[in-house]
A and B are shown apart, each in its own frame.
Chain A
Amino acid sequence: MSAVDLYRTVRLIRRFEERAIEFVRSGEIVGGIHPYIGEEAVAAGVCAALRPEDLITSTHRGHGHVLAKGVNPARMFAELMGRESGLNKGRGGSMHAADFSLGILGANAIVGAAGSIATGAAWAHRRRGRDVVAVSFFGDGAMNEGMLLEAFNLAALWQVPVLFVCENNGYATTMPVAGAVAGSITGRAKAFGIPAFTIDGQDPEKVLAATTAAVDRARAGKGPTFLECLTHRLDAHHTFEHRTRLTYRSADELSAGWSRDPVEIQGARLTADDREAVNAEVEALLDAAAGIALGSAHPDPAAALEYLYASPEVMH
């Protein structure tokens, strides 16, 4: 993938998020979102290494992952706004965005839950003779969830083609990593025999290179790889912080994070003209997407429990 393409992805995620925050403030998005601002290089670099048929599972902070995997921004905005034209027809919202046609098995709001879902899905595809790799994104907070460690064990035992991508943004909500993780993050994966690497999560090209090596390894039948991507969450844990003004990190810490803005790091690799052209392209795309979403129908309240069962005929 070219430098321009990677820049387009990080820029798209950044501007999508900034617009989504505006929609939270204007009330078009109810309930708020978990902004991904500052972490765009991880989603962009990882997904650039994947094929369309490869799978991802995402997190409560998942907009970047699904955009990088290729979802239609209009359908993503519509999902956040709870519209019928949304990815999940307005039934999932920000923390459950899924698009099975693009291999997106859903954002998951239970921290650490999706590691084993991705492992099972990747195992199933291999059993059916398909050359599919799955990526499970999770944060540093998930490293303390037992079920994720159980998933590492299964993936390593059975040499499943799955990548574990830990977005270490330094905080689990307000809990700093140093106060939460005994030992090291990569050490936990290594304990299961999984090769584990700590990489710069602010540089899309470095993330792409590390992921490509891990994906090649998975496709060669050598099993899982663990990538710890050091990154910065430069906005709130959740937009409720914009009102509650939680203080758990210093201005210096935040400004140090902004000095390594992935959009700027990748943008600096483009000519001014190319960068301007991509920016204009992204704005036009998001203008159109927002317009489509805002013009979409709300679901019919009578259909509130539609899709509850895949086999509804059994139910009375």
Chain B
Amino acid sequence: MPKLSYLKALNRALGDEMDADPDVFVLGEDIRVAASNLTAGLFARFGPERVLDTPLSEQAFTNFATGAALAGLRPVVEFQIPSLLFLVFEQIANQAHKFSLMTGGQCKVPVTYVVPGSGSRTGWAGQHSDHPYSLFAHVGVKTVVPATPADAYGLLLSAIRDNDPVVVFAPSGALGVREDVDFSTLAPIPLGVGRIARTGSDVTVVALGHLVHDALAVADELAGGGVSVEVFDPRTVYPFDVDGLAASVAKTGRLVVIDDSNRTSGFGAEVLAIAAERFELIAPPRRVTRPDGAVLPFALALDRAVQPGRDQLLAAVRDVLTSGGRG
């Protein structure tokens, strides 16, 4: 079977959907020449009105996309840098997201925001290395973080077809992931439905995006010691597949979440809160996250020190396996 890379999968999904639906168009900075490769080949195929190169004016072109959506088009906005989402939080959280309710359901705002290269890209320092998916989930914007090429393809397709604003975070650590794919099986993947990336029986690890691959590696390592780790990839942060996680935890009784965002009020905190309200756990759950209020430092060793990694996950899994009174 041919190998498909994660970034190529996003590119393919966008091109396929632009082919299928003339109302879909993409706009953003440096997309004509495909600076990130997300839009590679699309300008030649679809021309300047469907691949709209914008000036550096994020706030205006994000609202421009909302206006185009209100007029019946389906814009896909590419952001080259995740931290630009802070600049356009108003336009997404306070404008696009609120139009449906504020107008009493008179309109829809089918805009997709794609960030190909979210999180640390190593060496990009404080203002280029955020991974702000928790913020969008918090305000109720549909938020997707695919882990694999097939999921990246299928979830981007569903995001574009969805009638609400959807943010698709493509972690930089996942962009190079390749997998064997039978292209004929590539299909839309519904938002809000997680998947079991690896089955296991002793502990459930919840991981997103590139961290799914770290969780799988840790599971492999622990398997050698006789520990069976189940890896649950929710794929969509919001809405979150509570039922899928419940089924996994019902089997394992133990829970660890690894989350590449800051600790307080982050996605990891939310998963633990869901667990506290809904699940019968054998041991207290754990979360592996960036530290509170973290800003990514530049130096490589410091950058790595702030991001959640395999060693911390390994320690957290061992911890939940040995703690708790009912095991």
Chain A interface (Cβ < 8 Å from any Cβ of B): 55, 86-92, 96, 98-100, 105-106, 108, 110, 113-125, 127-128, 134, 146-147, 150-151, 153-154, 157, 305-311, 314-316
Smallest beta-carbon distance A156→chain B, Å: 11
Residues of chain A contacted by B243 (CB below 8 angstroms): 316
Please give me the 3 A-B residue pairs with the lowest Cβ-Cβ distance, nearest first: A120-B67, A150-B60, A89-B104
Give min CB distance, B223 to chain A, whole Å. 32
A308–B100 CB distance below 8 A: yes
| Bound-complex Cα distance A121 to B111 (A) | 13
Q: B128 an interface residue at 8 Å Cβ cutoff?
A: no
Q: Which residues of B contact A55 (CB under 8 A)?
A: 71
B135 CB within 8 Å of chain A: no
Question: Do A121 and B70 touch (CB < 8 A)?
Answer: yes
**A116 x B192 contact (CB < 8 A):** no
Contacts of A121 in B (CB 8 A): 67-68, 70-71
For residue B182, CB closer than 8 A to chain A, the reply is no
List A contacts of B140 (CB < 8 A): 308
Residues of B within 8 Å of A113, CB to CB, are 63, 90-91, 95
Contact call A151/B60, Cβ cutoff below 8 A: yes
Question: Who on chain A is nearest to B58 by CB?
Answer: A150
**Complex Cα gap A117–B96 (Å):** 10
| Most chain A CB inside 10 Å of its own CB: which residue of B64, B72, B100, B241 | B64
- The listed residue (B63, B108, B164, B239) touching A117 by CB distance below 8 A is B63
The answer to whether B106 touches A100, judged by C-beta atoms less than 8 angstroms apart, is yes
Asked whether, in the complex, the Cβ of A154 is within 8 Å of the Cβ of B239, the reply is: no
Docked Cα-Cα span, A122 to B72, in Å, equals 11
Residues of B within 8 A of A (CB): 25, 49, 54-55, 57, 59-73, 75, 90-91, 94-95, 99-110, 140, 142, 162-164, 190-192, 239-243
Q: Is the CB of B162 within 8 A of A311?
A: yes
B59 to A91, Cβ gap below 8 A? no
> Is the pair B105, A306 in contact by a Cβ cutoff of 8 Å?
yes
A86 and B104 alpha carbons, distance in the complex (Å): 9
Q: A91-B101, A310-B109, A310-B110 are in contact. Are A124 and B71 (CB under 8 A)?
A: yes
Q: How far is the CA of A114 from the CA of B99 in the complex (A)?
A: 12
How many angstroms between the C-alpha atoms of A114 and B102 in the bound complex? Answer: 15
Would A105 and B70 be within 8 Å (CB), given that A110-B95, A120-B64 are in contact?
yes
A314, B67: Cβ atoms closer than 8 Å: no
- Is the pair B67, A105 in contact by a Cβ cutoff of 8 Å? yes
Can you report 24 residue pairs joining A to B where beta carbons are below 8 Å apart?
Answer: A88-B102, A91-B102, A91-B103, A92-B103, A96-B103, A113-B90, A113-B91, A117-B63, A117-B70, A120-B66, A120-B71, A123-B67, A124-B67, A124-B72, A127-B73, A128-B73, A134-B67, A150-B55, A150-B59, A153-B57, A310-B109, A311-B108, A311-B163, A315-B239
Give B24 Cβ to nearest chain A Cβ, in Å. 12
Minimum distance in angstroms from A182 CB to a CB of chain B:
20
**Within the complex, what minimum Cβ distance (angstroms) separates B109 from chain A?**
7
Nearest CB on A from B32, distance (A) = 14
| Cα distance A52–B94 in the bound complex, in angstroms | 28
Chain A residue with Cβ nearest B240: A316
How far does the alpha carbon of A118 sit from the alpha carbon of B241 in the complex, in Å? 37
Nearest-neighbor residue (CB-CB) of A86 within chain B: B104
Tell me how far the C-beta of B243 lies from the nearest C-beta in chain A, rounded to whole angstroms: 8
A117 to B: closest C-beta gap in Å: 4
Task: Evaluate contact between B63 and A151: CB separation under 8 angstroms.
Answer: yes
B49 touches A150 (CB 8 A): no
A128 touches B104 (CB 8 A): no
A154 in contact with B64 given A116-B59, A316-B239 (CB within 8 Å): yes
Q: Which residues of A contact B68 (CB under 8 A)?
A: 120-121, 123-124
A116 x B64 contact (CB < 8 A) = yes
Instruction: List chain B residues, Cβ under 8 A from A308.
Output: 100-101, 140
Measured in the bound complex, the distance between the Cα atoms of B72 and A294 in whole Å is 35
Interface core residue of B105, B239, B243 (most chain A CB under 10 Å): B105
Indicate if the CB atoms of B61 and A154 lie closer than 8 Å.
Answer: yes
Q: Specify which of A89, A118, A150, A153 is in contact with B67 (CB 8 Å cutoff).
A: A118
